[in-house]
Amino acid sequence: MSTSVEFGKYRLNEDIAGTLATGEAEDSAQVAKLRSALESVDHKRRKILQQMRSDAALLALEDGGSPIQNPSTAVEDARLASLISLDGILKQVKDIMRQASVNSLSRSKKKVMLASLDELAERMPSLLDIDHPCAQRQIADARSVVESIPEQDEHLQEERTLQPSADLGSGAETDVTQWNILQFNTGSTMPFIIKCGANSNSELVIKADARVQDPKGGEIVRVVPRPTILANMSLEEMKQMFSQLPEALSLLALARTTDGTRARYSRLYRTLAMKVPSLRGLVAELEKGGVLKDGRS
């Protein structure tokens, strides 16, 4: 194929790339489509340019001509980088919207979600001006949805986990997509194995043997109360609460005094929650609010 034909194809792809580089995207689907098209055209253009260089190199050897210079693709490259960044922002917005598909949210969880949206807004400088409206609109819509969700009292939310075992053993509250395993070596007994994860409400959920000495009794799944629930409990009330959870949790958290139990439980809650990637932001928020003030002591 002659160099002139290749050049014609190159110019055609260059025109298409230029058109795509100035196209506006309204939503994530259009962003993905525009990004894919621009990447495809860019790939074809580079392939044609490589062939043109090869042909020109042969001509240069025969005629003493100059090699083909690289044309500038700065505009298209900048738009592609912007679309990649925009795509990442929109995917995170979509994830936040998924988490917002609930009837109510705890105050701390709501703050975490709004803070995440603020962080996404701070990434706007990575976008070209043409992509700002799409990102701003999606972030604003998500913020409106999150802010409109009724807040649930933290203490009431924790009390939901104190329902009878039959109510906690299954259902949406204990649906976990991925379990993370933690092993606690106490020295005097067999290691405690606790699986932890997060449900759709971003609550800590654990799965472990109901009784440490009776593994054949089977595992139970429970939503773990946040440390705030222990604030006004007596030691006996704490023991009653722990009796509804896997025994390993009780053995690891209970101390001789109420203050000691609160401190140990706070550390344990933090250890379990930090094992779940999606809960790390929540842990940080609880620490800022003083809920996990004993988390590292």
Q: How confident is the model over 55-101, as pLDDT tens digits?
A: 555 455 445 555 555 555 677 778 788 888 888 888 888 888 888 88
Is the same domain home to 105 and 182? Answer: no
Domain endpoint, select from 103, 120, 151: 151
Question: Would 74 be classed as within a structural domain?
Answer: yes
Is the same domain home to 99 and 168? Answer: no
Question: Would 259 be classed as within a structural domain?
Answer: yes
Q: How many CA atoms lie within 13 A of 233 on its CB side?
A: 25
Percent of residues, the chain, with pLDDT higher than 90: 11
User: What global pTM score does this model have?
Assistant: 0.44
Question: Would 176 be classed as within a structural domain?
Answer: yes
Is the same domain home to 283 and 203? Answer: yes
Is the same domain home to 132 and 42? Answer: yes
Range 33-52 average pLDDT: 70
Strands 151-152 and 105-106 come out as: parallel
Question: Would 293 be classed as within a structural domain?
Answer: no
Domain of residue 236, residue span: 154-288
Return the H-helix or E-strand segment holding 156.
helix 154-159
Whole-angstrom distance, CA of residue 271 vs CA of residue 274 = 5
- pLDDT bracket for residue 173 (50, 70, 90): low
pLDDT at 296 over 50: no
Which pair of tokens denotes residue 100?
């917002």
Which pair of tokens denotes residue 282?
């929540």
Question: Would 219 be classed as within a structural domain?
Answer: yes
Is the same domain home to 69 and 141? Answer: yes
Is the same domain home to 116 and 203? Answer: no
Question: Would 297 be classed as within a structural domain?
Answer: no
Is the same domain home to 134 and 209? Answer: no
- pLDDT bracket for residue 220 (50, 70, 90): confident
Domain endpoint, select from 98, 119, 151: 151
Range 261-266 average pLDDT: 91
Query: Looking at 64-153, which runs of residues are DSSP E strands?
Result: 105-106, 151-152
Is the same domain home to 147 and 164? Answer: no
pLDDT at 163 over 50: no
Is the same domain home to 193 and 116? Answer: no
Cβ neighbours of 55 (radius 10 Å): 17
Question: Would 295 be classed as within a structural domain?
Answer: no
> In which region does residue 161 sit, left (phi positive, over 0), alpha (psi from -120 to 50) or beta (all else)?
alpha
| CA nearest neighbour of 34 among 16, 47, 21 | 21
Domain endpoint, select from 112, 135, 151: 151
Residue 60, Cβ density class (10 Å: 0-12 exposed, 13-18 middle, ≥19 buried): middle
Question: Would 133 be classed as within a structural domain?
Answer: yes
Is the same domain home to 43 and 57? Answer: yes
Residue 70, Cβ density class (10 Å: 0-12 exposed, 13-18 middle, ≥19 buried): exposed
pLDDT at 246 over 90: no
Higher pLDDT, 181 or 74: 181
Is the same domain home to 134 and 159? Answer: no
Percent of residues, the chain, with pLDDT higher than 70: 69
Domain count, the chain: 2
Is the same domain home to 172 and 132? Answer: no
| One-letter amino acid for residue 76 of the chain | E
